[in-house]
Structures are given as C-alpha cells and as structure tokens.
Structure 1
Amino acid sequence: MQRRDVTVYQTNRQSPALGIKMRRLLVVRKSNFLWYALILSVSILVYISSQSLLAHYINGDQIFYINFYHSLKQAPFSAVTELQLINTGSAEPLYGYISWIFVNLGFEKNTYIALSNVLLTMAVGLAMKNSGANPIIFLFVVTNFYFVVLLTSAERLKFGYLFFALLFAFPGKISIVSGLLTPLFHFQMFINYASLFLGRFAEMRVKDFKKLSTLVPFVALTIVAAFGVYYIMEHYGASITFKVEHYSAVNTFKISDFVRLLGLIALALVLSIRFGTLLAYMAPIAISVALLGPERVNMIGFVTLLFIAAKNKQLMNPFFILLLSYFSFKTIDYIKNIYAYGNGFVI
C-alpha cells in the first residue's frame, strides 16, 4: 500500500471519532449558550420585578434598612458600623460598608438592591449550570419563596448567599475569596458552613484521610475555619451572643418547630442519602432551630437539601420537584402581601 493510501486510510479511521467529538462539542456549546441566555433573561426580569416589589415593600424590617441607607448619606466611613448597629441592630461589617459605597455613589436604595438581586440571580444560575442541573430547576429556584425573601426583605442574608453561590459558580481562587467573605455579610452563614463541613466529613472514609490530596485541603480548611470563627467571636462575639439570647428569649421551644425540618430530612432519605451522613448535615440546623426558631433557620435547611440533591444528581426526583413546586406556590401569597400591606410577612 502506498504511503498516500495509508494516510487516507488512517484519516478515514479517525474521522468517525473526530466527528463524534465535534458533535459533542457543538452540543456543549449550544447548551452553554442556552444557559447563558436563560440566566441573562431571568436576571433582567429579576431587576424589573425587584424595582416594583421594593417600591412597595416599605414596612416591617425594611423600615430600619431604609432608615439605615439614608443615614449613610454624607456620613463618614468610620461611622458606618455605629449607624448600622443603631438602625438595624446588626454588626456584620461588609454589608454596611458596601451600602456606604453605593449611597455615596448616588444610587437610590431600590436600584442598589435590585442590582445586587441581579448578581445573586446570575451567581445561582451559574452554580446550577455547573452542577449539571436542568434549566427548569433554575426557574423553580428563582421563583422559590426563600429566594424571593432574599430579593426583598432579607438584605444582609442576601449578600451572604450571593457570595456563598459564588463558591459554586466560580470554583478556584474566586471561591476561596468569596468563601472567606460570606460570613462577614451575615453571621448566620456559619450555620451553612457547619452543615456542609460536617456532612462532607461524614461522607469521607478512613482511606480518604490517607491521601495527601484529600488530607491537606481538609486540614487547611479546618485551620482557616477555626481562625475565622476566632476572629469573628473576638470582634463581634458580644453582638452574636446578644442576638442568640434575644431570639432564644422570643422563641419558646416547641416540638412543632421541627416539623418542616423533619420533612426535609425525610425527603433527603428518599433521595438516597445515608442516615448517618444526613444527621451530620442536619445537626447544626436542628440546634439552630432550637435556639433561634424555625423561621430564621428553615431557609438553611432548604439550601442544604438543594445542595444534597445536586450533589447526588437527584434534582429531577419527583418528590424534590413536588417540594420545589410547593415553595414556588408559597411565593404567591408573599408577593400579594407586599403589594397589599407593604410587608411580605403578614399573618
């Protein structure tokens, strides 16, 4: 066989494999384009709807946040912490500092919050894309009751979850930075970290700790987490203790407080999660429910379940879809309350 014939023969043998690779590449590119188009479209809708919802949300906790934002006008940077404590009773530093920057750049509060809502939406969308989720799950999440609460009333917590979502949206150096900054927007994010840390620890086996590739990051993460907790407690321990004591006094311990959490645990078992691992994930949340009450902690339980479902490729499980549908339906009354009473949390 001549050399030219051999070359043609080899090329013909390689072409089917090459064609398969090209088709796969085109499918991936088309999928990416559709995801980016969906994220952009939803983000625009979130911005528009945020402007409308925020214009009507003027009661409840928003009274304090509106007053705080206006108090930052012409205020020196050094006064941010004191003004935040006076107006909102909170001490997380980064929320106040970012608000100070935006108010002194001339942004109206609703525009500032609407823009942050867009960033949260994009971060969540990219995180879900990276997890291999079906786009329909992203639509369920952005219409979820807890997500809409973040868009409207839970301002500090919103920034915490924004940087938390960046952990999964941009794995690498950006995720390290965002992970360190997350608790400085809302100390409640420590509960999320404790839940994921203990859950991941429970999933690991003895042989995993014999691998340097597993052991070194785990030890490094433990050291950083310990240092972070020490720093926060050293500088903001008094504020955290006061908050916990206040919520504990207001919240009377009741077995019924655990009903929703038990429902999430039952669903997680349906999603084929080992019971021991599930207990590790949920233990910090259960303790927090007992101390702070369910209303402030159930969101963390849902986020943890979302993480578990994504990790175990169970996002399209019919039971999980049913839960997502319930929370999307629950959003309707919340939005009605905003337009009717200026507060989403009206009994």
Structure 2
Amino acid sequence: MQIKYHLRFSRAFVAKFTAAAVVFLLSFLIMPFYINGDQSLYRKVYETLPDFGLTEGFLFYSRSLGSQEFVHFFLSWVASRFVDKDLFIAFSNAILAYVSMSLFRKWQASVIMAFLLVLTNFYFLVIYFAAERLKFGFMFLALSLIYIDQIKRFYGFAVLALISHVQVLIVYGAILFNIFVRGILKLFRTGKVAKSWLLLFLVPFLFLPPLLLGGEFFLAKLVSYYSVRDFADLTELAKILVFLLLALWYSKKKSETIIMFIPIVIAVFLIGGFRVNLFGYFFVLYYGLQFRGGWNFGVLTTSVYFAYSSINFLVNVIQHGDGFFSGSLLVEKLKD
C-alpha cells in the first residue's frame, strides 16, 4: 500500500521562505566583507566569547561593547561555540526577513511588495549588516506587533524586544501615548474610562524585566543618546515630518496618526533623528501598506529612494569593509 503525501503551501509562505533563503545567502556572501567600523569589534568579541562562561562572558561583552543588551549577548555566546559569526548573522537575518514579511502581510501588504521591502530597503540592509544588536530588538518588536491582539504573546515578545535594544521604546512609547491620549479624550467626551486603558496597567510589568536586567545601563544609554544629539540637524527633522505627512496621507484615523507621531518627533530632538527615523518610516509602512497593498505613490517613491541608497551601502561594504564609509554622501549612519 503506497501512501502519498501532498503538501500545499500558500503563495505567501513560499514568498516568505524564499525571501528568508535569499537574505540568508546574500548575508553569508556579503557579511565576510564587513570587517571595519563597529563590525571589527563585534568580530573580536564573538571570537573571544567561547573562552568565557556565561557570567564572565557577559562582563567581557559589556566592557568590550559598552552594552548590556542581554539577548544579543546570550545568542552570540551560544552561537560562538558552534558556528562562525557570519553564519550566525546570516541565519538571524533570514529569520528577521521571514518575520518582517509576516508583519507586512498582517498590515495588508501585497506579497510582492513585502518581498521587495525586505530585500531592497536601505533600513533593512542596515539592520542586516550593521545594526547588529538592533536586529534582535527589531525582530522581537515585529513579533510583538504580529501578536498585538494576543496579550500574553505580545507582552512576552515586547519584553524580549526591550531587553534586546532600548531604542524599541520609541515604538512602544508611541503606542502607549496614543492609548493614553485617546482615553483622556473619551473620558472628557463621555465621562467613561476607555477599556484600552487597562493596557496601561501592564506598563510597569512591561518595563520591570529590562530594569531588573540592567536599569542603570538603560538610563545611561538614553542619557548618552541625549548628550550626542544634534539640534542643528534640520535634515533629520525634515525627514520625520515628511514621514508624518505620508502617514497622514494614507491613514484613516488622522488624529491617531498625529498622536503617535508626537513622541517620535520629540525623540528626534532628544536623541537624534537618525536613531528615530527608521521607526518613523515603519509607521509610514503601517499606514501605506494598507492602501492597495503598498502599490501607491508614497510607498513606491520611498522604496525607490531607499533601494538606491541600498546600492551605495552594499558597494561600500564590498569595497571598503564598512557600509558607512565616510566617502559616501548617499547614506546616513544609523548607529547601533
């Protein structure tokens, strides 16, 4: 008796798997060229981690990188015992590509548009190759947004995102600020407390694990961002305002969009635009991808612009070992 198994995969799954495979292959081929800039230090730390136990390794990691983001350390500490760093990063990038496509599909992006974004967008290339710690923060941030309607999963992934990279506070802060302000408006309008305010009671528990794992570090990190901000960088402010206008163009709830962008615009002043604009752009995608699956003027125009910047980034990696080689005028540095 012969039993036949027929596996049927959706078009979206095939596209996500293909994108992950392509990103894995490109990462594995290109990452060995990235030997300068921050990656030179990351490589040295990764190669040395197998010599330490967990506690000693974390102390070494913290002293070497000036960072206490535990998730990146722990994954690097484990992976360094088994695989080469470039293979570890390639595999991580593949997962990020798959998760990001899943998020974009949740936001109603067409399969092709989601595929193109994770393969050609400049911000994705920065996360794949340069912003190593932010990679894991963004990965868990995306997972939390995928499961935003399932509170336990959302909370779990949000905690992992926060202990992966402090900058994801920008997104969660914008979401919570929107809940708070809209709740206030409803209270004044109807005299009733919004049910969404119940989520605000989870805020202390959301921030408790990161604070226990390194409260002083997170505070110091925010202070360091504030100390190196550049008030004169009007270009960054202009970018976030353009992102706001694009988001408003496609948003069905204009007031919600304005409210969520208020913390983001403030963050540009406090910690510097280049650290914030990545998240601001993903708010544009949140609204823009819901209109015609992303096949619209705003998403297409920004996609072409960032795809062009991606070419220069990759050329710099291959030719100079650093995507942010100072000779390029077409890319901006997004520090990790």
Is structure 2 residue 307 aligned with structure 1 residue 328? yes
Deviations 1:229-256 (A, max 9, x none): 3553455232233333333333331251
Deviations 1:82-126 (A, max 9, x none): 12211211111121111111112x111111111111111111122
Is structure 2 residue 117 aligned with structure 1 residue 138? no
Judging changes above 3 Å, is the alpha-carbon distance between structure 1 residues 314 and 210 closer, same or farther for their aligned structure 2 residues? farther
Aligned positions of 1:140-159 closer than 5 A: 140-142=116-118, 143-159=120-136
How far apart are 1:177 and its partner, in Å? 2.1
Aligned positions of 1:1-347 closer than 5 A: 33-104=10-81, 106-142=82-118, 143-170=120-147, 172=150, 173-202=152-181, 206=186, 215=195, 218-219=197-198, 221-233=199-211, 235-254=213-232, 256=234, 257-272=236-251, 274-310=253-289, 315-347=294-326
Worse-matched range after superposition: 197-206 or 153-162: 197-206
How far apart are 1:300 and its partner, in Å? 1.1
8 A contact 1:57–1:343 mirrored in 2: yes
How far apart are 1:262 and its partner, in Å? 1.0
Deviations 1:188-226 (A, max 9, x none): 1111111122235556673999999x71x641x322222
Looking at structure 2, the residues matched to 33 and 79 of structure 1 have their Cα atoms a distance apart, in angstroms, of: 46
8 A contact 1:141–1:324 mirrored in 2: yes
Give the structure 1 partner of residue 334 of structure 2: none
Looking at structure 1, the residues matched to 224 and 231 of structure 2 have their Cα atoms a distance apart, in angstroms, of: 14
Judging changes above 3 Å, is the alpha-carbon distance between structure 1 residues 327 and 276 closer, same or farther for their aligned structure 2 residues? same
Looking at structure 2, the residues matched to 144 and 85 of structure 1 have their Cα atoms a distance apart, in angstroms, of: 31
Give the structure 2 partner of residue 24 of structure 1: none
Judging changes above 3 Å, is the alpha-carbon distance between structure 1 residues 200 and 317 closer, same or farther for their aligned structure 2 residues? farther
Looking at structure 2, the residues matched to 301 and 66 of structure 1 have their Cα atoms a distance apart, in angstroms, of: 30
Q: TM-score, normalised by structure 1?
A: 0.81
Letter aligned with residue 190 of structure 1: L
Deviations 1:3-23 (A, max 9, x none): xxxxxxxxxxxxxxxxxxxxx
Looking at structure 2, the residues matched to 308 and 200 of structure 1 have their Cα atoms a distance apart, in angstroms, of: 18
Judging changes above 3 Å, is the alpha-carbon distance between structure 1 residues 245 and 272 closer, same or farther for their aligned structure 2 residues? closer
Count residues in correspondence. Answer: 314
Root-mean-square deviation over aligned CA pairs = 2.7
8 A contact 1:196–1:304 mirrored in 2: no
Looking at structure 2, the residues matched to 275 and 233 of structure 1 have their Cα atoms a distance apart, in angstroms, of: 34
Identity of aligned residues (%): 25
Looking at structure 2, the residues matched to 194 and 344 of structure 1 have their Cα atoms a distance apart, in angstroms, of: 30
Looking at structure 2, the residues matched to 224 and 41 of structure 1 have their Cα atoms a distance apart, in angstroms, of: 37
How far apart are 1:310 and its partner, in Å? 4.0
More helix by share: 1
Looking at structure 2, the residues matched to 285 and 243 of structure 1 have their Cα atoms a distance apart, in angstroms, of: 17
Query: Which one has a bigger Cα radius of gyration?
Result: 1
Looking at structure 1, the residues matched to 292 and 158 of structure 2 have their Cα atoms a distance apart, in angstroms, of: 24
Give the structure 2 partner of residue 25 of structure 1: none
Looking at structure 2, the residues matched to 164 and 283 of structure 1 have their Cα atoms a distance apart, in angstroms, of: 20
Looking at structure 1, the residues matched to 122 and 238 of structure 2 have their Cα atoms a distance apart, in angstroms, of: 18
Judging changes above 3 Å, is the alpha-carbon distance between structure 1 residues 245 and 127 closer, same or farther for their aligned structure 2 residues? closer
Letter aligned with residue 57 of structure 1: Y
8 A contact 1:57–1:339 mirrored in 2: yes
